[in-house]
């Protein structure tokens, strides 16, 4: 399930074009939107950032160029 959602986000394809090996596109879409609304994705991101920061794998220095 998560692989299907990540595939869609990474490639930018429409939900209907996600390969069937990941399951029904409707199920993927519903899970994605439900987790977006209830904050699950934000909690996952925060946990991954904390783990990476603790391990020293996260560089908080960034540059922006116009």
Q: Is 60 exposed, middle or buried (0-12, 13-18, 19+ CB in 10 A)?
A: exposed
Q: What is the pLDDT of residues 11-54, one digit of tens each?
A: 999 999 999 999 999 999 999 999 999 999 999 999 999 999 99
pTM: 0.75
Contact 41, 35 (CB under 8 A): yes
């Amino acid at each position: 399930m998560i692989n299907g959602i990540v595939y869609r986000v990474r490639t930018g394809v429409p939900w209907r074009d996600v390969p069937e090996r990941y399951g029904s596109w409707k199920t993927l879409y519903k899970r994605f939107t439900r987790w977006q609304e209830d904050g699950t994705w934000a909690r996952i991101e925060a946990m991954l950032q904390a783990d990476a920061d603790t391990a020293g794998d996260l560089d908080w220095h960034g540059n922006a160029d116009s």
